[in-house]
């Protein structure tokens, strides 16, 4: 939730878009939940000073928050976990980055832990769910004060193996891991990230493993994997939304015979440049398809306070320009257009370098009405679930991506339908509600441990 003011000076409320916010909203609506979050806007900060119920916004120190968010969370941790650093050159742990850790990431986590403790004072039996890479330290601060609290953490991004974690200095990677192991449950989207996390605990901390429990420093933590799902009913409604239908008419009016779609944030992990190159290579190999197929790239500009992200958008735009009108690149935040494009694609390209899960690979096929084919990176978390029905690609293999796009464009209707139906059935059966149930089941399991 984020607050603003309208032209008349009245307070406005907007609810976050994006897959994760949508997914969590479903969970929150079904249970008695207090949501604690950092204040982002000026009006959020006003709300943070008021008497809050249900949603509690924390007004962090602005400088600390900037260090926390724009230096440590992004790009440092994000780049470590997606293996995006150009290690011969970056990052440096110089005074600025150390300062961002000590006077940014640490105090923001402390502040969040304090708000959590206040909520536990109000309701000592409440379970606490921490989310993602912004809050690796908070669980340890809460645990110190509440040895018996029930704490769970879900990490939505990839967890690489111990070598990649050496990009963090020893004390920092130690604190990240011990922070997470202060929880009773740590969850990931895939077996792959789960396994890497367990190995990291063994390699870095010398933790021991007993089945799916990690033992360290006299505590046991359940480490699980549960891929998050979509909210089918929300998407069903959205498909009929007037804005979406208007967008769809625009796409239909201008689309060629076949449409290759990608929908992403402009994040280096999403691998947009190689995707464009692959599409161009496919056209070079099959010139008969020129004019009959177009790539529509809908990119939500992301984290534009961070130089690495600004550079990446420029690289994407250069690559797209080199392909002329074979590519329709739209950089902007327009979820209605994304949903309209989901309905219209013949091929959906998800070729992420690394991705924790990738909800586009579930939303797109669920909404699609043309039995479109999913081309899916083997390094996207969703590949564990959907790989058998997608055309798998290696994210670095531009040549193979070109071939996969062509195979998708020329696949028989029967085969397209078979694959599309299998994905839709899987996505419907494993929705966000089912995911929420797994979170609660994990809690029940650790609650009942001796």
Interface residues toward a second copy, by CB under 8 A? 83-89, 91-95, 98, 158, 160-164, 166-170, 196, 199, 268-269, 271, 273-274, 277, 281, 312, 315, 353-354, 378-379, 394-400
Rounded CA separation 34/48 (Å): 14
Rounded CA separation 392/404 (Å): 8
Q: Which is nearer to a second copy, 234 or 397 (CB)?
A: 397
Structure tokens at 109: 């986590």
Shortest Å, Cβ 164 to a second copy = 7
Rounded CA separation 389/412 (Å): 14
Shortest Å, Cβ 400 to a second copy = 6
Q: Which is nearer to a second copy, 229 or 280 (CB)?
A: 280
Is the CB of residue 381 less than 8 Å from the CB of residue 193? Answer: yes
Shortest Å, Cβ 276 to a second copy = 12
Is the CB of residue 259 less than 8 Å from the CB of residue 345? Answer: yes
Shortest Å, Cβ 274 to a second copy = 6
Q: Which is nearer to a second copy, 87 or 429 (CB)?
A: 87
The single residue listed with the structure tokens 């470590």 is 80
Structure tokens at 292: 């009959």
Q: Which is nearer to a second copy, 152 or 272 (CB)?
A: 272
Q: Which is nearer to a second copy, 88 or 413 (CB)?
A: 88
Structure tokens at 364: 């797109």
Is the CB of residue 299 less than 8 Å from the CB of residue 275? Answer: no
- Within 10 angstroms of residue 66's Cβ, the number of other Cβ atoms is 14
Q: Which is nearer to a second copy, 91 or 256 (CB)?
A: 91
Shortest Å, Cβ 97 to a second copy = 8
Shortest Å, Cβ 399 to a second copy = 6
Angle, alpha carbons 145-151-154 (nearest 5°):
135
Shortest Å, Cβ 286 to a second copy = 15
Rounded CA separation 299/434 (Å): 29
Q: Which is nearer to a second copy, 39 or 316 (CB)?
A: 316
Shortest Å, Cβ 269 to a second copy = 7
Is the CB of residue 44 less than 8 Å from the CB of residue 36? Answer: no
Is the CB of residue 178 less than 8 Å from the CB of residue 216? Answer: yes
Find, among 276, 281, 279, the residue nearest to 266 by Cα. 276
Rounded CA separation 330/198 (Å): 40
Q: Which is nearer to a second copy, 26 or 395 (CB)?
A: 395
Q: Which residues pair with 393 in a beta bridge?
A: 377
């Amino acid at each position: 939730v984020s607050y603003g003011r309208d032209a008349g000076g009245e307070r406005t409320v907007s609810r976050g878009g994006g897959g994760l916010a949508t997914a969590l909203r479903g969970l929150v609506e079904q249970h008695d939940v207090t949501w604690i979050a950092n204040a982002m806007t000026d009006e959020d900060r006003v709300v943070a000073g008021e008497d809050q119920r249900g949603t509690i916004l924390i007004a962090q120190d602005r400088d600390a928050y900037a260090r926390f968010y724009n230096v440590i969370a992004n790009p440092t941790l994000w780049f470590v976990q997606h293996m995006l650093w150009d290690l011969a050159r970056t990052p440096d742990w110089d005074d600025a980055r150390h300062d961002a850790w000590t006077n940014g990431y640490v105090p923001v986590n402390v502040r969040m832990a304090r708000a959590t403790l206040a909520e536990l004072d109000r309701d000592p039996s409440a379970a606490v769910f921490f989310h993602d890479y912004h809050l690796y330290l908070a669980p340890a601060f809460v645990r110190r004060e509440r040895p018996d609290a029930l704490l769970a953490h879900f990490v939505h991004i990839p967890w690489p193996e111990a070598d990649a974690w050496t990009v963090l200095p020893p004390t920092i990677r130690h604190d990240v891991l011990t922070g997470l192991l202060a929880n009773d449950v740590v969850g990931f989207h895939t077996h792959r990230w789960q396994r890497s996390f367990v190995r990291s605990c063994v390699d870095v901390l010398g933790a021991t493993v007993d089945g799916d429990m990690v033992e360290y420093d006299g505590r046991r933590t359940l480490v699980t994997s549960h891929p998050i799902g979509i909210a089918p009913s929300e998407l069903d409604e959205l498909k009929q939304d007037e804005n979406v239908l208007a967008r769809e008419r625009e796409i239909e009016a201008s689309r060629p015979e076949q449409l290759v779609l990608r929908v992403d944030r402009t994040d280096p992990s999403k691998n947009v440049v190689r995707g464009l190159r692959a599409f161009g290579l496919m056209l070079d190999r099959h010139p008969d398809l020129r004019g009959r197929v177009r790539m529509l790239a809908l990119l939500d500009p992301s984290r534009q306070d961070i130089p690495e992200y600004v550079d990446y958008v420029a690289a994407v735009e250069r690559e797209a320009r080199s392909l002329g009108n074979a590519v329709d690149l739209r950089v902007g935040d327009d979820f209605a257009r994304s949903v309209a494009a989901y309905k219209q694609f013949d091929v959906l390209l998800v070729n992420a370098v690394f991705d924790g899960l990738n909800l586009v690979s579930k939303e797109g096929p669920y909404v699609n009405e043309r039995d479109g084919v999913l081309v899916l990176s083997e390094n996207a978390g969703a590949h564990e679930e959907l790989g058998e029905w997608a055309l798998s690609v290696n994210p670095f293999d531009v040549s193979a991506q070109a071939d996969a796009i062509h195979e998708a464009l020329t696949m028989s209707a029967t085969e397209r339908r078979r694959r599309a139906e299998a994905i839709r059935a899987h996505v419907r059966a494993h929705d966000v509600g089912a995911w929420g149930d797994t979170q609660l089941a994990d809690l029940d399991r650790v609650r009942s441990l001796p």
